[in-house]
Amino acid sequence: MSSSSITLGQHGPRMASVGYGAMSLTNFYGPCDEDQAHNVLTACVDLGIDHIDTSNVYGAGTSESRIGAFLAKQGSHAKDMFKIATKGGITTHPETGARCFNNALEHLEGELDKCGGHAGRGDDYHYHIAPVCLIEQLGKERIDDKKQPIGFAMDGYPIHALGWFDNANNIEDQLDECRGYTDSKGRYFYNVMTQANWDILTCFTGKPKRFAKDKWAARKDKNGNDIVGYPLKFNIKNYSAQQYGAETCHVVTGTIPKEQLLRTNGSTIKINDADGSIFYCNPSCYAMFFEADKKPQFKGRVIYYERVTDKCPARFSVSDLILFEAYEGPPQTYKAPQSTKK
pLDDT digits (tens, 9 = 90+) for 43-84: 888 888 888 888 767 766 677 778 877 877 777 677 678 877
Write down the pTM of the prediction.
0.41
- Is there a domain that residue 328 lies in? no
Burial bucket for residue 95 (CB in 10 Å: 0-12, 13-18, 19+)? exposed
- The pLDDT of residue 217 is 45
Kindly state the helix (H) or strand (E) to which residue 254 belongs, with its residue range: strand 247-262
Q: Does one domain contain both 226 and 310?
A: yes
Predicted confidence (pLDDT) per residue in 92-114, tens digit: 665 665 667 776 655 655 555 56
- The pLDDT of residue 214 is 43
Structural domains counted in the chain? 3
Spell out the residues 6+ positions from residue 248 whose beta carbon is closer than 8 angstroms to its own.
241, 242, 281
CA-derived radius of gyration, the chain: 23
Predicted confidence (pLDDT) per residue in 6-18, tens digit: 777 666 677 777 8
DSSP string across 289-310? EEEPPP-TT--S--EEEEEE-T
Which amino acid is located at 33 in the chain? D
What is the pLDDT averaged over residues 250-273?
90
- Is there a domain that residue 183 lies in? yes
Domain, as residue range, for 296: 214-320
Q: Does one domain contain both 172 and 236?
A: no
- Is there a domain that residue 340 lies in? no
Rounded Cα distance, 238 and 309, in Å: 21
Q: Does one domain contain both 221 and 196?
A: no
- Is there a domain that residue 12 lies in? yes
Q: Does one domain contain both 175 and 189?
A: yes
DSSP conformational letter for 236? E
Cα torsion at 312, 253, 270, 329 (round to 10°)? -10
- Is there a domain that residue 326 lies in? no
Q: Does one domain contain both 84 and 120?
A: no
